[in-house]
Structure 1
């Protein structure tokens, strides 16, 4: 297995689970949101507020296309699934894992909607993007992990069991 790519909604735990999973498996860890910030020298929310969502999505695609790691756990931004080009790049020699979290749980977890750097229009709600993105997450996922009522360690254990079917 090459890479493990985590996709899912903001607040699903991709970064938190990704770090623990990488440590557990002895792999590198890449957070594409942090890569966007590194490349552009700006916060995600600053890019969205000042350049617009389309510009942010292009920046996200560009950052993902630059990821060329092998044997890494890659935590993506929640909007990466809008780019078929980025997803095709991530899917090469990788297992795509969708961290599925119910909308009510996400509402409780996300307290900083205005500053978190979520690619959504001013007139959109968390429910709107949840309904829009869920079919895309399911489309790209090799494995769907239900994160409901599980802490990060429990999610990592579930992922490890699910990965067994993909071999060493």
Structure 2
């Protein structure tokens, strides 16, 4: 089987980038990277702790530093939701292979994020989740080479759909 390029997953918090990414990596025979974990390991703190300590702008800078420094080859890369604020990172991801935007409805995302443990969302604390969604959606659309509507699909089905589309292109 021909080696697939790296595949980057972008989208809002709660869309399932990590869950889908793990399954997709197994399907593709690629390693899995979760850049939120890489950030936390480098900083010795959770994303939420980094936000409280340094603020959302610094978290975005750290995210950019980490993603510009990592070896991204031969991987499925689950990115943080704010990765689209860095043009340099998005260009680097696109150079590695397809950038896949995982889409979900706002209400679905809000419910998932509310049910999950606290997570650091790199945005102005004055912004509500719906405002962040509205601000980021055009950025996800701009940078994506492929867009997958996750509505009604479980993570395995989303991973299968990505593989089918990446393999056929």
TM-score (norm 2): 0.94
Number of residue pairs the alignment of both structures matches: 166
Q: Which runs of 5+ in 1 are unaligned?
A: none
Task: Report the counterpart of residue 79 of structure 2 in structure 1.
Answer: 76
Q: Which runs of 5+ in 2 are unaligned?
A: none
* 2:147 alignment partner, SS class: strand
1:107 Cα shift?
Answer: 1.2
Aligned pair partner of 2:5 in 2, 21, 31: 2
Say if 2:116 is the partner of 1:120.
Answer: no
Contact between 2:72 and 2:96, CA under 8 Å: does it hold in 1?
no
1:86 Cα shift?
Answer: 1.0
1:115 Cα shift?
Answer: 2.5
1:104 Cα shift?
Answer: 0.8
Q: Please give the alpha-carbon distance, in whole angstroms, between the structure 1 residues aligned to 2:132 and 2:34.
A: 21
Taking a change above 3 Å as real, the CA distance of residues 36 and 92 of structure 1, as seen in their structure-2 partners, is same
Structure 1's consecutive aligned runs of 4 or more residues displaced over 3 angstroms after TM superposition are none
Deviation track 1:62-111 (CA, whole Å, cap 9, x = no partner) reads 11111213210000000000000111111113110000011011011112
Task: Report the counterpart of residue 64 of structure 2 in structure 1.
Answer: 61
* 1:18 alignment partner, SS class: helix
Task: Report the counterpart of residue 89 of structure 1 in structure 2.
Answer: 92
Deviation track 1:20-60 (CA, whole Å, cap 9, x = no partner) reads 00011110011000000111111111111110111100000
Aligned pair partner of 2:36 in 26, 33, 37: 33
Task: Report the counterpart of residue 49 of structure 1 in structure 2.
Answer: 52
Aligned CA RMSD, in angstroms, stands at 1.3
Q: Please give the alpha-carbon distance, in whole angstroms, between the structure 1 residues aligned to 2:69 and 2:42.
A: 10
TM-score (norm 1): 0.94
Q: Please give the alpha-carbon distance, in whole angstroms, between the structure 2 residues aligned to 1:100 and 1:79.
A: 15
